[in-house]
Structure 1
């Protein structure tokens, strides 16, 4: 009987042992899989949490800085300067609805976010991404200088446009506003070229074209002045002084006839005379009006 029990026990053991070994192997495999999955997570978890904290803090700082810069730019009147310069209409035409201070504040926001993103990448050990963003951050001073060039340049161009418009209007030049606007846009284009060159974006061909254009205009003025433009300039200057002394509606006597001033143009004055009931208009050079007219 005991022999039979021993045989049964040995048979049971021989049948159960493979099952136990299989269970042990399965457990070891599950343990290894768990360690493979959770090991990196537990290893990276502190870094990920630290990166998230840096990004949250960076977002708050960048948000506050962007709003502060926007408020400062509004106080400086950059939006008003842009409206006077006609840049707001151009921005709306290309679909930009934000104000200039808001755009500058948004730029500051993303620049600061780049700084904090770079810090987060360094925490995670993403050196390639960190190096790329570090290059972008190193570009910030150039962006700042370019922005200063644009702002100061546009303010100066706006001021010069007003000076040119006022001066040429006093000289009686009918196209004073067009001339002032042309000078403004040329100066504005030069300002943007200077800003892009600060960003190491070259527009050599366009720069040469502008220089050639200026040279051609200067040469044209020189030739015009040398080939007869002196008389025109004399007439324009004489017209300026005539307008100081005489106005539309004044009665004058010049060259043997008497009439009424209707308009003092850039180089000549229009005088209306009544000759035997007929109204005639005469164009008298401003230089003669200045030297011969008697009120």
Structure 2
């Protein structure tokens, strides 16, 4: 019996091998046909996507160069240099010019549009939705860039006006005052740009509000407790310089001498008494009302 079983097993072995090989062959052919069918079905869409991206790349390059040329033509680079934006960019390692950055933004904006179209062709809705989010964000980035450039240009202009006006008024800290105003305006400009980009700094905003409130309160208190005299002295000094120059001889009540300097709130008058020279600090308000040339 054992011999017969062995013979039977030996006789069935080739058939088992043949059946196994046939099954593996069918599985391989079926998998290959399925994969090939999927490739064939996707191939037209893939070719269409490649064509869309190639055309989109050419269009994006052209539009990007046009945008850069227009930005250069309208003086965006000059405005950025005057506002100090270019110097700040160079400090952080950005070597590109502002017009080239604008052109690059337009290039990637259009490329994102064509990438979205390509993903839609392939039916990749998830990637397409992500690209649409990026496309919606890029215009905000452009607007924020324009806000920063124009805002810093205006802040620079205001700084110059404040420095010139304060210097003519005889304020000794004119440059510090102008720089302080510039930095405050710059901070407000960047906060507006961040708000355009939907970047929120709630805690920082509260801190800025508290700081501005404290400054306003301090200014109000100082003005109420004695600042009016300082302001009166500054205004009197402004009008006094139009009437009296250093070296003029003046008489104030019983004092007669030579004007040496018209300061922010007081005028230095030099007198001679008993052969000795003396310097007196006379408030500008008194000089304006009582001085006689």
Structure 1 position 98 matched with structure 2 position 96: yes
- Cα distance in 2 for partners of 1:171, 1:240 equals 5
Unpaired stretches in structure 1, ≥5 consecutive residues: 1-20
1:78 to 76, 81, 103: 76
- Cα distance in 1 for partners of 2:158, 2:213 equals 20
Provide, for residues 183-205 of structure 1, a one-character-per-residue CA deviation record: whole Å limited to 9, x for no partner.
Answer: 12212211221222222211122
Cα distance 1:284–1:95, how it changes in 2: closer, same or farther (>3 A)?
A: same
In structure 2, the residue matched to 1:281 is: 279
Deviates more, 1:55-64 or 1:79-88: 79-88
- Cα distance in 1 for partners of 2:147, 2:129 equals 28
Paired residue total:
279
Q: Retained in 1: the 8 A contact 2:144–2:194? A: yes
Deviates more, 1:233-242 or 1:24-33: 24-33
Cα distance 1:276–1:91, how it changes in 2: closer, same or farther (>3 A)?
A: farther
1:133 to 127, 131, 145: 131
Following TM superposition, by how much is the alpha carbon of 1:277 offset from its aligned partner in structure 2, in angstroms?
5.2
Unpaired stretches in structure 2, ≥5 consecutive residues: 1-18
Cα distance 1:151–1:89, how it changes in 2: closer, same or farther (>3 A)?
A: closer
Provide, for residues 158-210 of structure 1, a one-character-per-residue CA deviation record: whole Å limited to 9, x for no partner.
Answer: 33223322322222112222212211221221122122222221112212222
- Cα distance in 2 for partners of 1:172, 1:191 equals 30
- Cα distance in 2 for partners of 1:185, 1:132 equals 37
In structure 2, the residue matched to 1:245 is: 243
In structure 2, the residue matched to 1:260 is: 258
In structure 1, the residue matched to 2:141 is: 143
In structure 2, the residue matched to 1:49 is: 47
In structure 2, the residue matched to 1:200 is: 198
1:162 to 150, 155, 160: 160
Following TM superposition, by how much is the alpha carbon of 1:237 offset from its aligned partner in structure 2, in angstroms?
0.5
Cα distance 1:249–1:134, how it changes in 2: closer, same or farther (>3 A)?
A: same
- SS in structure 1 of the partner of residue 55 of structure 2: helix
Provide, for residues 232-259 of structure 1, a one-character-per-residue CA deviation record: whole Å limited to 9, x for no partner.
Answer: 1110000000111122233333343443
Deviates more, 1:132-141 or 1:118-127: 132-141
Deviates more, 1:98-107 or 1:148-157: 148-157
- Cα distance in 1 for partners of 2:100, 2:278 equals 60
Cα distance 1:222–1:29, how it changes in 2: closer, same or farther (>3 A)?
A: closer
TM alignment of 1:151-230, pairs within 5 A: 151-230=149-228
Following TM superposition, by how much is the alpha carbon of 1:222 offset from its aligned partner in structure 2, in angstroms?
1.2
Q: Retained in 1: the 8 A contact 2:169–2:237? A: yes
Following TM superposition, by how much is the alpha carbon of 1:285 offset from its aligned partner in structure 2, in angstroms?
1.1
In structure 2, the residue matched to 1:117 is: 115
RMSD of the alignment, in Å?
A: 3.0
- SS in structure 2 of the partner of residue 280 of structure 1: strand
TM-score scaled by length of structure 1: 0.81
Q: Retained in 1: the 8 A contact 2:105–2:138? A: no
- Cα distance in 1 for partners of 2:194, 2:186 equals 12
- Cα distance in 1 for partners of 2:73, 2:181 equals 28
